[in-house]
Structure 1
Amino acid sequence: MHTEYDPDDNFARAFHPDADLDEDAALEAVAWQFLLLVNPGDEDAALLQFGAARDALAEGGDPVAVLRDAIDWKAGFHIQDDDATGLIEVMDELAARFNLRIDWGVEDAFDDEFLAEAEVPALINIAFDRLREHHYTLWTWETGEDTHAGWIALQRDDEAVPAVAGALGFHVRPGAG
């Protein structure tokens, strides 16, 4: 019988070591919970994204890459470090799902002068602050690349998001961190 105890490994301790656990079903269940979190109040969108991700997950695809692709521009974003225009566009699109508009602090967020000076992490923090005013949290995750990526979830799910996302391999933080 397995007797080692790792207090940091909550998911390994969730099941008896000799249990007949269907790992694919467990991964699908966590992926489904993740999609519900990043599509608050829109189970239909979560279901569509789950359908797009399910086969790739069953074939052993990397959960982070599979889910990133499934939610991109629908419930999440993945942009280059220097793409201020892309970030504003995708955040406006994602906020509109909740009937919200992000105030970027300028009259025209697509003004060339503003965009020339804008930095993606600062814009992420502006979006985070504006979304918090409406009880949403903008989450970002470490991509390991020269990119920024994330999604929006309800503020009341601030404890659930890191737990569920972490189980899938996302290392998340609120805002630009």
Structure 2
Amino acid sequence: MPDNSDYFDFEENPHDFDEDDFEARVWNLLVLINPGDEELALQQFNRWRELLAERGEPLEPDSDWLPPLFAAIGWQSGFEVEREDLDSVMAAVSELAARWNLQLDWGGDLDDEDFADHVDGVQLLSIAFDRLREHGYTLWSVDAGSEGFTGWMALTRDDDAMLALCSLLNVEVRLGSDPF
């Protein structure tokens, strides 16, 4: 029997950042919600840091860092809309989907009274979640401490990474089909 130990003897590459580095975790989150667009992720990361600095917030997990993050990513990589504003729910999610040249079939139009009278924001997000999954994307609902709906999208293949990273960041997320 040949000795295959050479194939399994490897040394891990050292990370170029501290694994407990809060900023590195936020950066990784931005990379997840901006797949293939590190330039936009970097712009949002810098904008987020500027917003925290303007507020005098420290760059640490115990700070109130999530609202400035939503301000930095708003309508580009995430959304924050009022629960009752169904037009904004549909517009925000449609805008995110358009980044990947996706057009969502909502199953109706809010101008149609039969459709509008039978849906609410939770149902719209659930419809969007299902339509996006068909194309390999996941709509996430984020508990940002607001009364409205907040969320972002990422590739479905990154679902486990999103859950693990959000756990490390102490951010509660759910699938968009079950929004907060």
Scaled by the length of structure 1, the TM-score of the pair is: 0.79
For 2:112 and 2:171, locate their aligned partners in 1 and report how far apart those are by CA, in whole Å: 34
Q: In the alignment, which residue of structure 1 is the partner of 2:103?
A: 101
Cα offset for 1:148? 0.8
| Structure 1 gaps, min length 5 | 1-20
Name the residue aligned to 1:14. Answer: none
Q: Give the partner amino acid of 1:29.
A: A
Deviations 1:113-164 (A, max 9, x none): 2334420010000000000000100000123332111000000000011221
Structure 1 position 145 matched with structure 2 position 140: no
Aligned residue pairs total 153
1:1-48 Cα deviation digits (max 9, x unpaired): xxxxxxxxxxxxxxxxxxxx797xx11101100000011111111011
Q: After TM superposition, where is structure 1 displaced by more than 4 Å over at least 4 residues in a row?
A: none
The partner residue of 1:35 within 30, 36, 49 is: 30
Greater alpha carbon shift after TM alignment, 63-72 vs 120-129: 63-72
Q: 1:86 maps to what in 2?
A: 88
Gaps of 5+ in 2: 1-17
**2:159 corresponds to:** 158
User: 1:102: how far off?
Assistant: 0.5
SS at match of 1:159: helix
**Which residue of structure 2 aligns with residue 72 of structure 1?**
74
Contact 2:127 2:177 in 1 (8 A): no
Q: Deviations over 1:69-101 (max 9, x none)?
A: 111111001111111100111111110001101
Find the aligned partners of 1:92 and 1:125 in 2 and give their Cα distance. Answer: 13
Q: Is the 8 A contact 2:94 2:104 kept in 1?
A: yes
Structure 1: distance between partners of 2:107 and 2:116: 12
Percent same amino acid among aligned pairs? 44
Further displaced range: 161-170 or 123-132? 161-170
Larger radius of gyration: 2
Root-mean-square deviation (CA, aligned residues, Å) is 2.0
The alignment's TM-score, normalised by the length of structure 2, stands at 0.78
